[in-house]
Amino acid sequence: MSVIERPDGTPERFSPPVSPAAEPFWAATRERRLVLQWCRSCDRPIHFPREACPRCLGAELEFRPASGLGTVHAVSVMPKPANPTMAERAPYAVALVDLDEGVRMLTNVVGVDPWSVAVGVRVAVAWEPLADGRHLAVFVPAGGEPTP
């Protein structure tokens, strides 16, 4: 776990560690591309990346481009962040987003009043730069009608 500091000594957002299985995922974020790990045996998406398929234990895995579109499954607004590196952002929306490919991501919905983020809202990926050149996948409202 690493916290990156700005030149003035204040911390920036938590910089996620990279497991060996997740290296292709994070490499793609350097080009602002969202990719998902897929199992070749059962042809299903996997998130977060891991060494074997959690359904069939298959080890023949590959990364494929993702649509970057999803639907909010659950959301919580943090008015006072437990993490001090997020203090300047409060209030902010922490959400579970169901990607159209069929996996769920823990993320933030940004660029909108966090209290307006609701279950069923359609969202699209956006990218927040990290200090090391990677990007963090966050989401913004995609417009259109919420799904029930």
Give the footprint of Zn ion on this chain (CB under 5 A).
39, 41-42, 53, 55-56, 58
Shortest reach from residue 41's CB to Zn ion, in Å: 4
Nearer to Zn ion, 21 or 124 (CB): 21
Tell me if 30 sits within 8 A of 133, measured CB to CB: yes
**CA angle centred on 134, ends 140 and 110, rounded to 5°:** 15
Q: Which two tokens stand for residue 67?
A: 């649509």
In the bound state with Zn ion, the residue whose beta carbon lies nearer, of 28 and 39, is: 39
Looking at the Cβ atoms of 8 and 43, the one nearer to Zn ion is 43
Residue 24 CB, shortest distance to Zn ion, in Å, is 17
Minimum CB–partner distance for residue 53 and Zn ion (Å): 3
Cβ proximity to Zn ion, 41 vs 71, nearer residue: 41
Q: Give least dist CB 136 to Zn ion, A.
A: 27
Neighbour-count burial for 22-54, b at 16+ CB within 10 Å, e otherwise:
beebbebbeeebbbbbbbeeeebebbebeeebe
